[in-house]
Amino acid sequence: MASSKVAVVTGGNKGIGFEIVKGLCKKFDGVVYLTARDISRGVGAVSKLQELGLKPKFHQLDITDQKSLNNFKKYLQENYGGLDVLVNNAAIAYKVDATEPFAEQAKNTIAVNYFSLLATCHTLFPLLRPHARVVNLSSSYGHLSRIPGQKLRDKLSSSSLTEEQLSGLMNAFVKSVEEGNHQAEGWPNSCYQVSKVGVSALTFIQQRAFNSDPRQDIVVNAVHPGYVQTDMSSNKGDLTPEQGADAAIYLALLPANIEAPRGAYIWWDRRIVDWVNKPDDLSL
């Protein structure tokens, strides 16, 4: 069993995550784990895929709970000895008409979408084997042009930006929201946008680290899945969840030693998009 390749999808019980699991079950040469915070929903999702003749496995994983992350890491280590594909899909988004105070929304959104994804990476990256592939689900809202302030854009796009500095910026956004001056400091009035810009920027930092990692050819990319019909979009959108999963599946299965995409920002149709300069042909 330890020789089997392993793929993991976080937040895989519905929407795009579910479709990514489905696609990997069809195309990945190894074991595919659908993970979810809620055991009953996760098991139910696996049952739906089994009815289609697919064979995913389930493991409970709450990315906001370090104990859950540690338990999953131990399970993978003991049963497989490593990890070959990690798709960081789990995320939250408040509805436009949400009644929670904006400061609460900002704190929770950054905590889940950025810091919990970061914790997942810190926990599971040591398991990555040579030629492993990591996919971070970003968004069109994760493009740098979503940040109004030029000074912030300069910091976020710096090739010397560190993970610690990026985390500091994410915390600074939450603090500025609490103090009521986030827009004056150059942030948008959207905690989801900031969280996904953080995910995109983190991806570039991670690839720079992988480039000097002794493990050969580990690649991480950020992907905008498109405007997809899911619970998160209130079932609006131009794409089906299956279409929204396509680019993530493509990135998860990139062949060995590919030159590009590598540490890139990818559009739903698999195009590499300039993250710093707003492209003319994309409705960002």
Q: Name the band, by pLDDT with cuts 50, 70 and 90, for residue 284.
A: very low
Rounded to two decimals, what is the model's pTM? 0.96
User: Rounded to whole angstroms, how far apart are CA atoms 25 and 31?
Assistant: 8
Active site amino acids = 192
Domain ranges of the chain: 6-96+117-142+197-273
Q: What's phi and psi for 218, nearest 5 deg?
A: -90, 130
For residue 104, pLDDT beyond 90? yes
In CATH terms, the superfamily for domain 6-96+117-142+197-273 is: NAD(P)-binding Rossmann-like Domain (3.40.50.720)
d(CA 140, CA 264): 14
Q: Tell me: the pLDDT tens digits for 131-186?
A: 999 999 999 999 999 999 999 999 999 999 999 999 999 999 999 999 999 999 99
How far CA 202 is from CA of 91, 118, 165, 222, in Å, comes to 15, 8, 10, 9
pLDDT of residue 278: 72
Residue 233 has pLDDT above 70, yes or no: no
Q: Provide the pLDDT confidence category of residue 2 given band limits of 50, 70 and 90.
A: low
Q: Are 257 and 279 in contact (CB under 8 A)?
A: no
By CB neighbour count within 10 A (0-12 exposed, 13-18 middle, 19+ buried), where does 256 fall?
A: exposed
